[in-house]
Amino acid sequence: MSKYNALLQKKLGNTYPKLAALNNEKLADFFGEYIELCNPDSVYFCDDSEADAEYVRRRAVGLGEEKPLTRANTTMHYDGVGDQARDKANTRYMVPADRIAAMGKLNCIDTEAAMAEIKTIMKDIMVGKQAIAKLFCECPTHGPFSIGCAQLTDSCYVAHSEDILYRRGYRHFMDMKDKNDFFRFCHSAGEPDENGCCANLQHRRIYQDLDNNIVFSMNAQYAGNTVGLKKHAMRLAINKAGREGWLCEHMFVMSVPNKAKARSTYFVGAFPSACGKTSTAMIPGEKIVGDDIAYFKNINGEFRAANVECGIFGIIKDVNGDDDPVIYATLHEPKEMIFSNVLTGPDNNPYWDGMGIETPKTGVNYAGPWTEGGKIPISHGNARYTLRMDYLKNLDPAWNDKKGVKVDGVLYGGRDSDTCVPCEESFSWEDGIIMKACTLESETTSATIGKEGVRVPQPMANLDFITYPLGDYIRNNIEFGKQFGADCPKIFSTNYFLRTPAGKFCTGKLAKKVWLHWFEGRVHGEYEAWETPTGFIPKYEDVKRLFKTLLAEEYALEDYTYQFSFRCDSWIAKLERAKAFFAEMAPALAEEVYTYWDKKIAEFKAAKAKSGGTVKPGEWEKIK
């Protein structure tokens, strides 16, 4: 019995029996402790019923946190001008003082100091409000990937978003064998300003207690800072996975159907922001399992992946009918979804930058009344849509399988204009982690504040979410894959942003379909390949045929030769940048990784001496 029972009965009122029926002392203690501290006027405890979900939806609208749009079941939510993206500076990992040094450059804070500060901020922060207590599950419920999650929030928008994005978890909590193993989240938007947005952003804190699997998010409203089960839970899961011997990765999960061979092959992929992650997962003709976060486990000797979510919280900028036909069509259907920080037009419909149609000249957006021609764009660059996975017409049938899907290929995609080839297969799992994943970079563009063309290290496309020493994380990735031996997935790399000497992109947006289908063939041993210093690349005849078959396009030998040539100086510089980055960020990185890079650098220098600096496809065997 929880010591908070009297308080819980008072605050939860007629919803208290639903909590009591779970017979979970740790859960009751969590809610009791933070209800006492935050002091909401009342708490509504939700089970898995549609009636409780509808209560939250209606209340989100009634409180003005969401506004109904013209299309049935769709709403608009606005965050404040200063609350439009993840707050990296104030997202900190709570770690005991004696372990902080081992965390390297990760953004940590002493646990004792953090608890003192966050409890001061949380004291009475929910006074005058009703809080929502709701249970969810990461991955399909009642399965080997499942992790229960408990959320306390004073934002019905947050609770509604989670109900779209994640599986309801009341029944899962009822049936859990280990009633102590779950994630906990406490959120408050704090005092509202005149627009209903956070008034105290200077006191915004997102503190993550890694030892106790609790996240505190205060004075925040943007979903990336508040929706507990997304990046907050991802950070907790990465830490948990590191201790337990599995992986949580910032990856999509998708399948590539091959109708001619009557098979589907599953891939997962990590891409830094603006490097093609969503567009790869949503390639026309392929199938999606999940677009953002995946858990990997050894299930009966197989490398299997599960989609953590059952919805999509996607960037809406540039989603249009030509480039993203499935998502674009879905966004115009009268189904339950939330738009955030885009224009509400005079017709009470949503409009955003890059949607490919003529947009209104006036309306309301995240900054208030809006007129075309001012300094504020029609929609924020990080504006979002929130919808359920099962709305998508390209959803893979196995997307909700409790045991996940068997993975045959892992993709790492970066952005650079002059180094990496469009597609390549690694020599081995270990080679792929060290040479593809650890050296992943994203090149800054004109859309980024600062100088264009700067390579920004993005190892594993996961750096913002790694919650234990980076060197250990890299080692765990290597060891996890090696346990599968010959049945380990192949690792591939992509680069959709290689440019011609004139500065134009070498291929169109849909060329990624060709590279993906070459990967699919390689998984099944159907294409020969040329060896390069960094892996295996396609032969011209195969990709020429794929361009013709898949895209009805011609692919010139001259273009192939330029795109798939190995550039010695660029790769030497790339590995030197990786060495410098890891020396600062991960002082405990295994020495064998540096040895591996040094051997490669020596190999590239020898190749340069023999080739003049550029190794064309098929020429590596001549100069080895």
Per residue in 288-311, pLDDT tens? 999 999 999 999 999 999 999 999
Does residue 208 form part of some domain? Answer: yes
Give every CB contact of residue 614 below 8 A, 6+ residues apart in sequence. Answer: 565, 566, 567, 568
- State whether 305 and 336 are in the same domain: no
- State whether 446 and 487 are in the same domain: yes
**Which CATH number fits the domain that encloses residue 61?**
3.40.449.10
- For residue 275, indicate whether it is catalytic: yes
Where a domain ends, among 227, 244, 261? Answer: 244
Q: So what's the pLDDT on residue 276?
A: 87
Does residue 46 have a pLDDT over 70? yes
Does residue 72 form part of some domain? Answer: no
C-alpha distances (whole Å) from 359 to each of 296, 319, 377, 384, 464 are: 42, 14, 12, 17, 35
**Which CATH number fits the domain that encloses residue 508?**
3.90.228.20
Gap between the Cα atoms of 187 and 147, Å rounded: 19
Q: So what's the pLDDT on residue 133?
A: 98
Does residue 79 form part of some domain? Answer: no
Mean pLDDT of 221-243: 95
Does residue 77 form part of some domain? Answer: no
Helices (H) then strands (E): counts for the chain: 19, 34
Print the domain residue range for 344: 312-390
- State whether 382 and 408 are in the same domain: no
Mean pLDDT of 17-29: 97
Map residue 311 onto helix, strand or coil: strand
Residue 205 pairs in a beta bridge with 218
- State whether 99 and 142 are in the same domain: yes
Please tell me the pTM assigned to this model.
Answer: 0.95
> Both ends of the chain: CA-CA distance in Å?
71
Does residue 18 form part of some domain? Answer: yes
- State whether 458 and 577 are in the same domain: yes
Structural domain count of the chain:
3
Where a domain ends, among 361, 390, 419? Answer: 390
Does residue 577 form part of some domain? Answer: yes
* Packing angle of the helix pair 5-12, 25-38 (nearest 10 deg): 70
Q: So what's the pLDDT on residue 445?
A: 61
Where a domain ends, among 390, 423, 449? Answer: 390
Does residue 583 form part of some domain? Answer: yes
Mean pLDDT of 40-58: 98
- State whether 297 and 378 are in the same domain: no
**Two tokens, residue 65:** 């946190």
CB 15 within 8 A of CB 45: yes
Residue 198 is given by DSSP the state: B
- State whether 359 and 476 are in the same domain: no
Gap between the Cα atoms of 609 and 391, Å rounded: 56
- State whether 338 and 474 are in the same domain: no
- State whether 357 and 479 are in the same domain: no
**Which CATH number fits the domain that encloses residue 322?**
2.170.8.10
Q: Which of 275, 423, 488, 506 is catalytic?
A: 275
**Two tokens, residue 61:** 């609208």
- State whether 189 and 299 are in the same domain: no
- State whether 50 and 135 are in the same domain: yes
Q: So what's the pLDDT on residue 450?
A: 59
- State whether 60 and 184 are in the same domain: yes
Of 41-50, 252-261, 542-551, 587-596, where does mean pLDDT reach its minimum?
A: 587-596
Q: Which amino acid is at 347?
A: D
